[in-house]
């Protein structure tokens, strides 16, 4: 006689299968390469080093529009987003759609590239 899965087990399976973002499956080393090729022209990774875009040092877990000494759009200041993996994924997929009025217009269409960049950004926590 087979035993039926428990409710807790079913919930866990649903969570794990329902979101690649929740798995944190990105590769930080691959993300560093993608970042260098697509993001570094506008964003630095050193704290306090703003370029065309804000420094992304410690961006994961921070509130939108709060990087010191960067002139954010009103839309980004008012977005009230705390940057977690899921919101970073949405923003990187389509910044203008996620925060209407953002100055950022470049996106990362590849899910794999986004997950890798997010994994890399997670290594930049302060």
Q: How many CB atoms lie within 10 A of CB 76?
A: 21
- Tell me the average pLDDT across 39-57: 98
- List pLDDT tens digits, range 71-123: 999 999 999 999 999 999 999 999 999 999 999 999 999 999 999 999 999 99
DSSP 43-112: ---STT---SS---TT-TTSBTT-STT----HHHHHS--B--HHHHHHHHH-HHHHSTT-S-------HH
The span from the CA of 124 to the CA of 64, in Å, is 16
CATH class (in words) of the domain with range 26-122: mainly alpha
Which tops the pLDDT comparison, 124 or 24? 124
Domain spans of the chain? 26-122
């Amino acid at each position: 006689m087979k035993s039926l899965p428990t409710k807790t087990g079913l919930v866990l399976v649903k969570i794990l299968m329902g979101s690649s973002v929740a798995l944190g499956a990105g590769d930080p080393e691959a993300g560093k390469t993608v970042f260098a090729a697509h993001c570094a022209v506008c964003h630095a990774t050193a704290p306090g080093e703003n370029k065309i875009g804000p420094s992304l040092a410690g961006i994961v877990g921070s509130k939108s529009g709060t990087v010191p000494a960067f002139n954010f759009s009103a839309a980004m200041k008012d977005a009230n987003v705390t940057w977690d993996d899921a919101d970073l994924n949405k923003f990187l997929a389509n910044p203008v759609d996620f925060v209407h009025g953002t100055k950022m217009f470049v996106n990362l269409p590849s899910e794999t590239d986004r997950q890798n960049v997010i994994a890399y950004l997670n290594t930049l926590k302060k």
